[in-house]
Structure 1
Amino acid sequence: MRVSDKNLAEVWDRGFTIIENFLDRDALAAAREALWEIYPKPEDYFKAPEEHPELARGQFAGLRLFPYSSWALNRLPVYPDLIDGAERLLETQDLEIYKIELWAKYSGAVNYDQFHHRDFGNHSLVVPRADRNHTQMTTFMLLSDVTAEDAPTKLVPLKFTRELSLPTRAVPFGELFEHEVALTAPAGSLLIYKTDVFHRGSNFTGVNRSRFMMLVDIQQRGWRWQGKMSWPDRADAKGMRETIVRMTPRERDLFGFPPPGSEYWNEQTIADVSARYPGMDMTPYLKPSADGSAEQKS
């Protein structure tokens, strides 16, 4: 589903917006099935939670970093409507994806309650600007239904926190609770929020409940004081080679891959990158000749 202009305006006004049923059914179904290659199915977990002690080591124990073994999950960060929304919110096509995480939570594993905080603390060396420049678009993609019982993320509209200076990155537990809005929505929904928005994780209130999300963060390319993950550091991770091969040149560019027309491409690099990523269509990286056909750069 395309992110509406109304939703984008709400990000600037309220600090966040929720788009229900954002993912198409097929993409959501495939992604949900691929989750079980990484996490135990809820029914299996709750039969014997003691068999999964790794998920009880802390609030962030269920985080798994991109890439994943399944294309069904790896394609979500470049979902066309997500990138379109980012281009329109950030008012540029020169974008980079700077963080991707999967996050699973199971009731009873740990207490997921948090105090309200702002995310820019570990997304930037400085602070967000008060205007629309240098904005980072942070998102949660729900891969399961989230009700009030399912540890929903809770966010505070900007109108309640504008008087709190940006260096105030967190407030004591309980403060702002009266103003928070719970992210309750069906699977396939999308939350977009800014890094100056106060929000927190909450604990489950139901038994045998679980929650699964993908977090994708996008910013304008080139601001060296902003970011979080290094994709070259993940280049040899399982699933990355297949993902790079299957992506389009535009999708690879979002991860910093040299785009068509870059001075990086010449006869040697085209041959060697093709050998590193067998099956990749290298045609887009060839230099167009005068007659419109493709030739290699030398």
Structure 2
Amino acid sequence: MARGARQTPSHKTPSPEERPMRIPDAKLAEVWDRGFTVVEGFLDAETLGAAQDALWEIYPRPEDYFANPGAHPKYARSQFAGLRLFPYPSWALNRVPVYPDLIDAAERFLQTREIDCYKIELWAKYSGAIDYDQHHHRDYENHTIVVPRADQTMPQMTCFILLSDVTELDGPTKAVPLDRTRDIPLGVTQTKMGEFFEDEVAATGPAGSILIYKTDVFHRGSNFGAPGRSRFVMPVDFKPRGWRWQGKLAWPDHTGQPGWKEAMVNMTPRQRDLFGWPPPGDPYWNAQTLADVAVRYPGIDLAPYGARQATREPA
């Protein structure tokens, strides 16, 4: 079987040691100091297994792809041909970017509860489809219309959640520690090919790990080291609310996609808030909006929004 996301994950109730890990403060401090960190065991076993199963609603299983790569020509067109934007057909995937411990990490890293989830993607790669090697680059170029501040205020938090095992052979993201590039002005977004290959660190880890990095850290995609390999990751990005020069996706443009309504119905008020949904107590909520949002999203629990609205507008 080709290496990639496992095909027969367990869906048993996770034991205490399998349950989600709150990302330690020391790991978030490493992102500030080094530019990136990898945390293994981030997703619990049930969440990971269900997400892996749901991948095959979108992508060919590795063994199917490698049995006949010619049947899947799209993956040879671009390094980014395997990208799919949120939402997805399955709640098993849609719940991953709003994983409670991910929200917690973003709040602590950005030092506020007022945060936006501004990008969610799935990314599949298959060895031999195309050359995945890249220059080292800074992601901020398409995450803000200006540049990051050197004093690290107004930051953004970018993540890759690994949905398959990623070894040195599986095209890992490779990042350059900040102390190797501090002399490069922040206005520079790309280096010469190979310039920092000797300094880069491969972000490897078992499925369920998370790579967290800053948008000003130089990093790159790398090619596979062996045939028959595959890689599946979910990039998820957060920013402090209110900085209008930052962002990437406009969520209202995605509301017509399959999976959006189910995702909003299944989320908690805190999770919906990440997409710009009006929170409980917001002046947006009144009898009319409660009724019509319920029509648009059948089955949604609007009690948290209506309870506070009722205290402002007594009958």
Could you say which TM-score interval applies, normalised by the shorter chain? over 0.9
**Any unmatched runs of 5+ in structure 1?**
none
Query: Is 1:223 aligned to 2:217, yes or no?
Result: no
4+ runs deviating over 3 angstroms? 293-298
Counterpart of 2:120 in 1: which secondary structure? Answer: strand
Do the aligned partners of 1:286 and 1:296 also contact (CA within 8 Å) in 2? no
Any gaps of 5 or more consecutive residues in structure 2? 1-20
1:137 Cα deviation (Å)?
A: 0.0
Matched, 1:207 2:191: no
| Mapping 1:33-72, distance limit 5 Å | 33-72=53-92
Rounded to whole Å, the distance in 2 between the matches of 1:142 and 1:166 is 28
Structure 2 residue matching 1:179: 3-state secondary structure: coil
- Distance 1:264-1:288 versus aligned 2 partners, 3 A rule: closer
* CA drift at 1:54: 1.1
Q: Is the 8 A contact 1:102 1:213 kept in 2?
A: yes
Figure out how many residues of one structure are paired with residues of the other and give that number: 295
CA distance in 2, matches of 1:250, 1:14: 30
In 1, the alpha carbon distance for the partners of 2:181 and 2:126 equals 31
Deviation at 1:131, TM superposition (A): 1.9
Quick one: distance in 2 between partners of 1:31 and 1:174?
Answer: 35
**Are residue 158 (structure 1) and residue 178 (structure 2) matched?**
yes
Partner residue in 2 for 1:127: 147
Separation in 2, partners of 1:58, 1:231: 25
- d(CA) in 2 for partners of 1:171 and 1:226? 23
Distance in 1 (CA, whole Å) between partners of 2:146 and 2:311 is 44
1:253 and 2:273 equivalent?
yes
Cα–Cα, structure 1 residues 297 and 265, in superposed 2: closer, same or farther, change >3 Å? farther
| Per-residue deviation, 1:202 | 0.5
Partner in structure 2 of residue 114 of structure 1? 134
Asked whether the 8 Å contact 1:98–1:218 carries over to 2, the reply is yes
Q: Which amino acid aligns with 2:30?
A: E
Superposition RMSD in Å:
1.3
- TM-score under structure 1 length normalisation: 0.97
SS in structure 1 of the partner of residue 116 of structure 2:
strand
Structure 1: distance between partners of 2:124 and 2:235: 11
TM-score of the superposed pair, with normalisation by structure 2? 0.92
Q: Which amino acid aligns with 2:150?
A: A
Distance across 2 between alignment mates of 1:283 and 1:7? 37
Do the aligned residues in 2 keep the contact of 1:265 with 1:297 (CA within 8 Å)? Answer: no
Q: What CA deviation, in whole Å up to 9, does each residue of 1:169-215 have, x standing for no partner?
A: 00110101110000111000000000000000000111100000000
Once the two structures are TM-superposed, the CA of residue 296 in structure 1 deviates from its matched residue by: 6.2
Q: Which position in structure 1 is the counterpart of 2:191?
A: 171
Q: Does the CA-based 8 Å contact 1:231-1:255 persist in structure 2?
A: yes
- 1:188 alignment partner, one of 165, 184, 208: 208
Q: Does 1:233 align with 2:234?
A: no
